[in-house]
Structure 1
Amino acid sequence: MINLPEEYEKEMRGLLGAEFEEYKKTYEQPVRQGLRFNPYKLTKSVWENIMPFEKEQIPWVENGYYVHAEEKEENPARHPYYFAGLYYLQEPSAMTPASRLEVQPYDKVLDLCAAPGGKATELVCRLQGKGFLLANDLSNSRAKALLKNLELTGAPNFYVTSEKPAKLVNNFPEFFDKILIDAPCSGEGMFHKEPKMAEYWLEKSPEYYAEIQKELIIQGAQMLKPGGKMLYSTCTFSKKENEETIAYLLEKCEDMEVLAPLEYEEFSEGFSLEGKSEEICRQLKKCVRIFPHKMAGEGHFLALIQKKEKNRDNIQKKKAAAKKEEKPDACVEEFLKLVSFDFSNGKMKKEKDKLYFLPGDGNMPKLRYLRTGLYLGEIRKNRFEPSQAFAMALSPDTFTSCIMLSSKDIRTVKYLKGETIDVSDLKPIGEKGWQLVCVDGFSLGFGKLDKGILKNKYYAGWRMQ
């Protein structure tokens, strides 16, 4: 049983009243774990047909499922479908914010505090390859993990930056259709999953994070397009980090209003605040709280906010810059003969010897990027070496030559470990050259075939250990 900080217990008793003892009993129960299937790569019906785990859906998240403790022997993080980007492992209540932001194809979307990617991966999948996501995290090391998780989705339309939010504000005033701010917080909803968080809470309590959160939410509002929607979330219970942050935004930005997100019967409403106006308290009640004694999740807070439309006559529309297409090198053109990928939602750009596919018009400001669009590959001595990211974005429908393996075939694991494999029995197209290696019809990576032997090209940094 975890020892909760005394001051935290006092605050939670005040917040929950008679429900506190019921809340405290949740610490005696197993931690809730879940996964989210990737709607960019497969439909719900396909997923449920191939899902290798027990099918218990998370009732308030359309593509979310519980992973039960007894399934740890199968280890969802080591199943070939995980390496194929078919699902992302995530705590159930943490799936809620991205599911309530209502991202649509062609939106320009910002995830301001995106690492390690639990919400960004869902947002980019909802775009269905159209529009783009800018996923930012101030920490460069955390942003690297974010990049890998985004590349695993197979989505081609994202940028990854590691910038201070203030710099993004200067470059993207009233630019984004949708913004998600999963703010740094005291992590009270993580005490059950990670007991050490209770120790960190004593070092940095809600008062510390509240000032950071107020600055972030104002910066988010400055980058939100009129009529656009922003979702603010935390994995903590403190009013200081939740309702007080939203009240601060409403007082500073009169053009912002709280919307009631898609409802679920076990959601709890936000709390009113003493000393705030009746109108602000009315809006605060539209916020959503997830408590672990009411729902099978560890806890979350979210507020869906919209910026009011301006007089359309006063809005200056920027003329979109024309695409400048670059003619690919001959070796790239030769490789692309194997590909039937849709490049219409962006343009190719060569930087030194590396080739990228930039979503949209590709005209982005100078920032500290870890990735600009889909990394297609590298030109080495007049030959093209396609990237792991490009492989994840392809499928048997979009690449001519494929090695089709089963998730139960031992060669699948051998491939994921970087080994050379014998595929002479599979009758792939052609006797040599590039092959897209697939598991049950979903891409894993590239290999090079020569007389029935596949030389492994799976990215070393992603290999199964």
Structure 2
Amino acid sequence: MSEHLPAAFVDKMKVLLQDQFPAFLASYSEPRYYGLRINTLKVSVEKFKRLSPFQLSEILWAKEGFYYEEGERPGKHPYYNAGLYYIQEPTAMAPVEFLDIQPGDKVLDLCAAPGGKSTQIAAKLKQTGLIVVNDNHADRVKPLVKNLELFGVRNAVVLNELPNRLERVFKDYFDKILVDAPCSGEGMFRKEEEMVKQWDLNSAAKYALMQRDILKSAGVMLAPGGRLVYSTCTFSPEENEEMIAQFIEESSDFSVVPIEADFGFVSSKDGSARLWPHLLKGEGHYVAVLQRKGEKTDRATLEEPTPEIPSKRPTKPAVKPIEIDLTPFHQFCKDQLLLEMPGVEKLYGEHLYLMPEGLPSLDGIKVIKPGWYMGAVRKNRFEPAHALAMGLHADEAIRVLQLNSTDGDAIRYLKGETIMADEQSIERKHVDSPVKGHCLICIDGFPAGWGKWQEGMIKNEYPAGWRWMA
């Protein structure tokens, strides 16, 4: 592939890499590496390794990450539909590892779509604290929401805003922030040839303007004592070390936390790190860890609202409150579930969410998903959402139908087809629970969605947009 690289890019890399340039160029003739990251919200690493139908080898810098062999298709296995793993480029797993996330943290993923790093953050939070994920491109938010729901994340809020519009709401709020900045993408040339076609000599300067503003907004929203990780998948110094140097110069309360040169990472003079494709098994990345001075404080909410920043872009009118009786939802929880539901009930029209506690007011902010989506309350009945099923564990449902991943019924269910099931096949935690009605459909013990049992048949409630395609 090296012959397809832009000549100007090759000349730039010769200057940047000096005597390492031949090895770097040779890496473009080597096969790329494929990775997946196990979802520990649903399954332990040890258990998945026992279950895995794929041949796996460890990714050194991410204990939940594994290489799989080219030719294997983890996206076409029922375990993918059960949310047991995320298919992710191996070096893309590195930035979140440096956030040092602890259960209970409030975390922001500022440039989040399509959600790979967001799901990695959520797994480390273990359904505690809060993760706010944001992307300012409306067309990229839909896959972001889907990936969080697939992973079974209960404590995520999804926003669709420009970073500077979040500053007034979240000033000094987050314990940890990830800025996986939009960039010229030079590190992905081996993986995505389309990025080669889009590159030119002005790419780095164009993206640097955006990165500077995004990083500045992130600095405003990080709490004293908090940690910010800035990452790109490009090689250009103006998007990497020079970006960090300028930010530190303008933000005296921030400093760089040095990254050790492990796993083939190369430390830069300022303490940030380069991940080069000729020195490790993965594509090109850059990571910098920044620490804000000061003591961490418990700031769950804003004491006083701050004025909204005027926006020139049109906004949708707020949904008027509708008086909806939540009794059907509460009855569903009593009849179907064995857990204390977390969060604050929040209605958007007829759609019910459980919003994480401790959020400031999001008035004036474009909220796509304010929490764990429960479902819709319509005409005195509750219709459970697929997101609710995916956020459960099998032992949290009163009625369960177990399917085997090697059995045709599992595939038929994922295709949206009706499946047959006799009364004895429905597991009931309460012996007096009726068989008829909703049950949680599990594949090898892992929730995959809802079904409704009636007279020996399961009415399939797997969402049309998620269905298995031949």
Q: Same fold (TM over 0.5)?
A: yes
User: How far is 1:319 from its partner?
Assistant: 7.3
The CA distance in 2 between the partners of 1:166 and 1:68, in whole Å, is 42
Return the alpha-carbon distance in structure 2 between the equivalents of residues 21 and 319 of structure 1: 54
The superposition leaves residues 413-460 of structure 1 with CA deviations (integer Å, 9 ceiling, x where unpaired) of 110110000122762034311010001111000000012200000111
How far does the alpha carbon of each residue in 1:280-330 deviate from its partner, in whole angstroms, 9 at most, with x for none?
Answer: xxxx1x111100110000110000111011698xx9996789xxxx99622
Which residue of 1 is the match for residue 18 of structure 2? Answer: 17
**2:442 corresponding residue in structure 1:** 438
Sequence identity (%): 40
SS state of the match for residue 62, structure 1? coil
**Structure-2 change in CA distance of 1:185 and 1:317 (3 Å):** closer
Q: Deviations over 1:242-280 (max 9, x none)?
A: 00000011100011011124662411012x4xxxxxxxx
Distance 2:135 2:396 in 1: 32
Aligned to 1:114: 112
Greater Cα shift, 301-310 or 438-447:
301-310
Look up the SS of the partner of 2:396 in the other structure: coil
Tell me, yes or no, if structure 1 residue 298 matches structure 2 residue 283: yes
Give the Cα–Cα distance (whole angstroms) in 1 for the partners of residues 213 and 455 of structure 2. 61
Change (3 A) 1:380 1:349: same
Q: Is contact 1:431–1:452 with CA below 8 Å preserved after alignment?
A: no
- 8 Å Cα contact 1:121/1:149 also seen in 2: yes
Structure-2 residue corresponding to 1:276:
none
Say whether the 8 Å CA contact 1:320–1:361 is kept in structure 2: no
Q: Which residue of 1 aligns with 2:64?
A: 63
1:361 aligns with 2:358: yes
- Counting only pairs closer than 5 Å after superposition, residues 88-103 of structure 1 correspond to structure 2 as 88-103=86-101
Shift in alpha-carbon separation, 1:317–1:439, aligned structure 2, 3 A: closer
TM-superposed deviation, 1:343: 2.5
1:66-215 alignment runs, 5 A limit: 66-71=67-72, 75-202=73-200, 204-215=202-213
| Contact 1:36 1:89 (8 Å CA) reproduced | yes
Does the C-alpha gap of structure 1 residues 125 and 189 become closer, same or farther in structure 2, counting only changes over 3 Å?
Answer: same
Q: Structure 1 residue 118: deviation in Å?
A: 1.1
> Does 2:350 match 1:349?
no
1:309-365 per-residue CA deviation (whole Å, 9 max, x = no partner) reads: 1698xx9996789xxxx9962211221012123324x21122322111011135432
Query: Is structure 2 residue 8 aligned with structure 1 residue 7?
Result: yes
Partner residue, 1:243: 241
Q: Which runs of 5+ in 1 are unaligned?
A: 273-283
Q: How many residues align?
A: 442
The alpha carbon displacement at 1:217 in A equals: 1.0
Q: What CA distance in whole angstroms lies between the structure 2 residues aligned with 1:35 and 1:235?
A: 18
- CA displacement at 1:141 relative to structure 2: 0.8
Give the Cα–Cα distance (whole angstroms) in 2 for the partners of residues 316 and 193 of structure 1. Answer: 42
State the secondary structure of the residue aligned to 1:295.
Answer: coil
Within 5 A, what are the aligned runs for 1:299-448?
299-309=284-294, 329-337=326-334, 338-344=336-342, 346-366=343-363, 367-424=365-422, 427-428=425-426, 429=428, 430-448=434-452
Distance 1:459-1:243 versus aligned 2 partners, 3 A rule? same
SS of the equivalent of 2:214 reads: helix
Which residue of structure 1 aligns with residue 307 of structure 2? none
Secondary structure of 1:138's aligned partner: coil
Residue 51 of structure 1: aligned partner: 52
User: SS at 1:24's partner residue?
Assistant: helix
Runs of 4+ in structure 1 deviating by more than 6 angstroms, as ranges, are: none
Q: Provide Cα deviations, 1:158-181, integer angstroms capped at 9, x if missing partner.
A: 111110111001211111100000
2:308 aligned residue: none
TM-score by length of 2: 0.90
Tell me how far apart the structure 2 counterparts of residues 402 and 311 of structure 1 sit (CA, whole Å).
Answer: 44
When residues 381 and 7 of structure 1 are mapped into structure 2, their CA distance, relative to the original with a 3 A threshold, is same
Of 5-14 and 176-185, the range deviating more from structure 2: 5-14
SS at 2:111's partner residue?
coil
Tell me if the contact between 1:110 and 1:178 (Cα under 8 Å) persists in the aligned partners: yes
Which deviates more, 414-423 or 428-437? Answer: 428-437
Contact kept? 1:186, 1:204, Cα under 8 Å: no
Contact 1:22 1:293 in 2 (8 A): yes
Match of 2:31 in 1: 30
Matched letter for residue 84 of structure 1: A
Q: Does the CA-based 8 Å contact 1:347-1:361 persist in structure 2?
A: no
In structure 2, distance between residues paired with 1:406 and 1:307: 49
2:325–2:380 CA contact under 8 A, matched in 1 = no
**Secondary structure, aligned partner of 1:229:** strand
Distance 1:170 1:190, change over 3 A: same
- Partner amino acid for 2:65? G
1:262 & 1:380 partners in 2: Cα distance? 55
3-state DSSP of counterpart to 1:435: strand
Deviation at 1:11, TM superposition (A): 1.4
Structure 2, gaps ≥5 residues long: 305-322, 429-433
Q: For residues 399 and 130 of structure 2, what CA distance do their matches in structure 1 show? A: 29
Give, as a single letter, the amino acid of the residue that structure 1 aligns with 2:215: I
Deviations 1:30-78 (A, max 9, x none): 111100001111211111111111021111111001121132xxx2111
Q: State how far apart, in whole Å, the 1-side matches of 2:338 and 2:217 are.
A: 40
TM-score (norm. length: structure 1): 0.91
2:319 aligns with none
